Amino acid sequence: MTGLEAVILTIITASTPLLLAAIGELVVERSGVLNLGVEGMMVVGAVCGFATAYTTGSPYLGVLAGVLAGMGMALLFGFLTQSLATNQVASGLALTLLGLGLSGVIGESFTGLPGVKLQPLDIPVLSDIPFLGPILFGQDVLVYTSFALVFAVSYTMSRTRTGLVIRAVGDNHHSAHALGYNVIAVRYGCILFGGACAGLAGAYLSLAYTPQWVENMTSGRGWIALALVVFATWIARRVLIGAYLFGAVWIMGLYAQALGIGIPSQVLSSFPYLITILVLVLISRNRTLTKINTPACIGQTFVPDR
């Protein structure tokens, strides 16, 4: 049971940054915006979160700094794509490259320094329950935040007027504009929310998953988060399932290396990305499934005067 408990706890920590980043990107894409800069926002959130926590000694201030850093990068993306009407794909890729370079510059002086770990919560009595206690009641606050975000996004998108407006903007921005909705403002809000979630995911990596700063420590998780949104067909509860599925695949590859299984480590390390490609290929073959919830205007630039 102790071994199983350790595996489950490790899967939770590996899945949480994927879940946080993906749930934010889901809201962005539901509004009709394709932001390929998730990786860049995550890595900037990671370095700003670590630097702030190391400087102040408070991991919670580090989390706040990660969120603000992600929102700052998202604001830049929003300005380029919504105010200047630039191509979303090109702008997202540029944002990722900018984030990777900027994080390297900011984090140069923090490489190798001991981090300030975000400690798990200790709920009296409940956390001491054998096996279930550490899993259900002994996580850090960001793990519970990720579940709360899934519930909040799912409820908002399906049960509230705000969710209806976001979906209307993503499905037909011209009709939403004709009805009097400010398409640009709605998309700005969704982009900032996605940036906050990506920054939160990055801060989790440098403060909870591995409390240290290593250049390019996101290791492609932003791209997997993008794939998770498609995997979940833009439904929040499926993002939760997908994140934990991919997190389990990631961890099983690491455990396989530790057990000395006769497979090259490079193959095991690439396994999560191979699974991502395979899942996307299988989903893309089912056109009915992909068309059910895909925002019709995703990736399309909107200019009110046209």
Q: For 128-146, how does the pLDDT look when each residue is reduced to its tens digit (9 = 90+)?
A: 888 888 888 889 999 999 9
Ranked by mean pLDDT, the top range of 153-162, 224-233, 257-266 is 153-162
Give the alpha-carbon dihedral of 6, 139, 147, 219, to 10 degrees.
-60
Mean pLDDT confidence for 52-69: 96
Domains of the chain: 2-293 (1.10.3470)
Range with the poorest average pLDDT among 171-175, 190-194, 300-304? 300-304
Shortest CA distance to 269 belongs to which of 249, 287, 284?
249
Residues contacting 39, CB < 8 A, separation 6+: 96, 99, 100, 218, 220, 221, 222, 223
Q: pLDDT at position 42, please?
A: 98
Helix 2-30 / helix 183-204 crossing angle, nearest 10 deg: 160
Q: What percent of the chain has pLDDT over 70?
A: 93
Mean pLDDT confidence for 214-230: 91
* Distance from C-alpha of 79 to C-alpha of 226, rounded to nearest angstrom: 21
pTM, to two decimals: 0.92
